[in-house]
Structure 1
Amino acid sequence: MDIDVKTLRTFCEVIRTGSFTGAAHRLGYSQSSVTAQMRALERQAGAPLFHRLPNGVRLTPAGSTVRGYAVQVLGLVGEMEQALRGPEAHPQRLRLGLAPALAYGEQLARISRFGRRLLPGVQLALRVMCTAEIHTALRNGDLDGAFLLTARAPRRSRTPATAGGPDPTSVAGLARARTAVLAERACGTAAQPGRPTEVLVQELEFIPSTSASTRPATPCRQVAVADPDCPSQRWLPEFLRLRAGEPPESLELGSMDGVHATVQGGLGCAMLPSGLARSPYGAGLAPLPGVPRMQWTVSLLAARSREIRDTHREGLATALRLALEHAA
């Protein structure tokens, strides 16, 4: 595929405004130019990226997948442009990892935007990494901090009881234990001076989701996951294993946008963050019958170094909190 940056920026502007007309107005292009760019992008993607509606457009599953990568590409291009301006223009740079469960939709753009407002003069280098990779990078000094779901016990959301089903908190024990081991390897014991500090951001609800076209009585045989070591992603396969007596097939996709598109396409079920499971991104989705909603704690792990200070920790935690609120 040979996709230029201009087309990706137009694509993201169409998503932000919800229409080709709105994107053209914001970018100063003609509507025909925006339409031509999006048609060319769809030809290269090999699938429609938008549902054309009477009052605008809505992303297709393929469009949701392209959106996640487009945000990352544009973020890297922005970093390159900043680096080419010369050493005198270099702001302080903080390297931050994000677990895939927190990097869905336009989250990277939101976190970057709020971060710039709250931490002027600081450049945020955001990297989407699996939980195990984040802990390794923190231990090796390759990251200044990271946003991820911690190994704290999840809370069950207020939903009807699951008759005959396993206790969801007990089911989460394996996920908590695995994440705790990763954290211990990365940070060592609390007595060690190099241990990253943890800032609790907020709780994030995850909704067990399947395609709305799937029959309610059909058991979920395939679970799509973005990060096999994330508590929110380990929970559903274990819950279904205990309920059915055998493990479901696990499909690792590496991104929540890929997981979201898989579920929308009727190819499996997943624990989706509420921002993806609800309108407008939740079109075509339905709650997985007999499985409770759950909440996990979102935390900022910040390295103890001169690069990241208390004001940085407070600003970063607030930036993520605002981004999650806008996605809800």
Structure 2
Amino acid sequence: MDIDVKTLRTFCEVIRTGSFTSAAHRLGYSQSSVTAQMRALERQVGAPVFHRLPNGVRLTPAGSTLRGYAGQLLTLVGEMEEALRGPSATAPRLRVGLVPALAYGEQLARIAQFGRRLLPGVQLALRVMGTAEIHAALRAGGLDGAILLTGREHRPAPAAPVPVLSGAPGRAADRARTAVLAERASAVRERPEAPTEIPVQDLEFTPSTSAGARPPLACHQVVVADPDCPSQRWLPEFLRLRGGEPPESLELGSMDGVHATVTAGLGCAMLPTGLAAQPYGAGLAPIPGVPRMQWTVSLLASRTKEFREGHRQGLADAIRLALTCPA
């Protein structure tokens, strides 16, 4: 079997984007070129690697097997290229923004720890910034990448039925979700120079209030860490649609600050479930009638010479480990 690096990179890009068309756009190829590369790859493998679907592609069992080895091979190729260039005077420095919704508890330190382990020889500079600030910094070239929550995949998280206080929370949840998605769709338009988006991990959020608070008073004020983050915009919109009036909003800029404020009984918030559960969640309770939600943690990687393929995958793996490994 003689599969070249170019074909493996195209294969991995198709996996990330979910379609031949999107992969061709990201790589600067024609769609016919990507299709021809994947057909040649399947001839080499001896089996289809993708199921062709009306709205994209899905990996076959052979494709899933190939994905693991392709990632390892591309990482080794990146290391070989770096070694052949010889030692540099200074280590590459990756400036990466991180939204407050992901910088709670020990998460920031854990991302830095795993990033150092999986990105040897790279200086990782993490900066906690609001979502709007991150997008502005990416456009201006002030960041090489960003770790943030994307709204396109958010959905109700599986949960046992909860008592309904009033109104129709299911409909309110749908309307709130639709409003946030519509806002995202109208505000964001993909450009050729747009950063590469790598979905990393789903993260669940729990609508939380103080265990001693009594709804609906507990929902009178919503505490947010980042008003432009989809996880923080959703609850005020849900409560507005359910109650007819927008709740008051208190912006703190820190998820730990939001957690402390809600614990003190001064409002409600959408908290990462890991922060709303024991031991951090002592004194907190879910808001009855309001569903838990999930958003996708994604890595945005700018097209800079410092942010190479191996760096993107290493940082994505570091984020996944920080979010899933027990503390």
Q: Taking structure 1 as reference, are residues 98 and 175 closer, same or farther at Cα in structure 2, changes over 3 Å only? A: same
Query: Runs of 5+ in structure 2 lacking a partner?
Result: 1-87
Any residues of structure 2 matched to 1:12-31 within 5 Å, and which? none
Alignment match, 1:214: 213
Q: Please give the alpha-carbon distance, in whole angstroms, between the structure 1 residues aligned to 2:244 and 2:200.
A: 36
Describe the SS at the equivalent of 1:90. coil
User: Aligned AA for 1:95?
Assistant: R
Q: CA deviation at 1:197?
A: 0.4
Alignment match, 1:173: 178
Alignment match, 1:155: 155
Alignment match, 2:110: 110
Any residues of structure 2 matched to 1:21-60 within 5 Å, and which? none
Q: Taking structure 1 as reference, are residues 181 and 98 closer, same or farther at Cα in structure 2, changes over 3 Å only? A: farther
Alignment match, 1:61: none
Q: Please give the alpha-carbon distance, in whole angstroms, between the structure 1 residues aligned to 2:180 and 2:326.
A: 25
- With normalisation by structure 1, the TM-score equals 0.68
Describe the SS at the equivalent of 1:154. strand
Q: CA deviation at 1:161?
A: 6.1
Q: Taking structure 1 as reference, are residues 327 and 231 closer, same or farther at Cα in structure 2, changes over 3 Å only? A: farther
User: Aligned AA for 1:317?
Assistant: A
Q: Please give the alpha-carbon distance, in whole angstroms, between the structure 2 residues aligned to 1:213 and 1:276.
A: 18
Q: CA deviation at 1:90?
A: 3.4
Tell me if structure 2 keeps the 8 A contact 1:179–1:230.
no
C-alpha distance after superposition, 1:81-106 (max 9, x if no partner):
xxxxxxx8732110000111111111
Q: CA deviation at 1:176?
A: 2.6
Q: Please give the alpha-carbon distance, in whole angstroms, between the structure 2 residues aligned to 1:217 and 1:129.
A: 32
Asked if 1:308 is matched to 2:307, the reply is yes
Tell me if structure 2 keeps the 8 A contact 1:162–1:292.
no
Alignment match, 1:54: none
Alignment match, 1:260: 259
Tell me if structure 2 keeps the 8 A contact 1:150–1:179.
no
Q: Taking structure 1 as reference, are residues 327 and 209 closer, same or farther at Cα in structure 2, changes over 3 Å only? A: farther
Tell me if structure 1 keeps the 8 A contact 2:149–2:296.
yes
Any residues of structure 2 matched to 1:1-328 within 5 Å, and which? 90-159=90-159, 160=161, 163=164, 164-165=168-169, 166-184=171-189, 188-189=190-191, 192=192, 194-216=193-215, 218-326=217-325
Q: CA deviation at 1:279?
A: 1.1
Tell me if structure 1 keeps the 8 A contact 2:150–2:230.
yes
- With normalisation by structure 2, the TM-score equals 0.68
Larger Rg: 2
Describe the SS at the equivalent of 1:316. helix
Tell me if structure 2 keeps the 8 A contact 1:208–1:291.
yes
Aligned residues: 235
Q: Please give the alpha-carbon distance, in whole angstroms, between the structure 1 residues aligned to 2:255 and 2:286.
A: 17
Q: CA deviation at 1:326?
A: 3.2
CA RMSD of aligned residues (A): 1.8
Q: Please give the alpha-carbon distance, in whole angstroms, between the structure 2 residues aligned to 1:128 and 1:229.
A: 14
Q: Taking structure 1 as reference, are residues 229 and 179 closer, same or farther at Cα in structure 2, changes over 3 Å only? A: farther
Q: Taking structure 1 as reference, are residues 292 and 327 closer, same or farther at Cα in structure 2, changes over 3 Å only? A: farther
C-alpha distance after superposition, 1:219-241 (max 9, x if no partner):
51000001111100000000000
Identity across the alignment (%):
67
Describe the SS at the equivalent of 2:253. coil
Tell me if structure 2 keeps the 8 A contact 1:105–1:276.
yes
Describe the SS at the equivalent of 2:123. strand
Q: CA deviation at 1:153?
A: 3.6
Query: Runs of 5+ in structure 1 lacking a partner?
Result: 1-87
Q: Please give the alpha-carbon distance, in whole angstroms, between the structure 1 residues aligned to 2:302 and 2:185.
A: 17
Q: Please give the alpha-carbon distance, in whole angstroms, between the structure 2 residues aligned to 1:162 and 1:172.
A: 21
Q: Taking structure 1 as reference, are residues 281 and 327 closer, same or farther at Cα in structure 2, changes over 3 Å only? A: farther
Q: CA deviation at 1:214?
A: 0.9
Q: CA deviation at 1:289?
A: 1.2
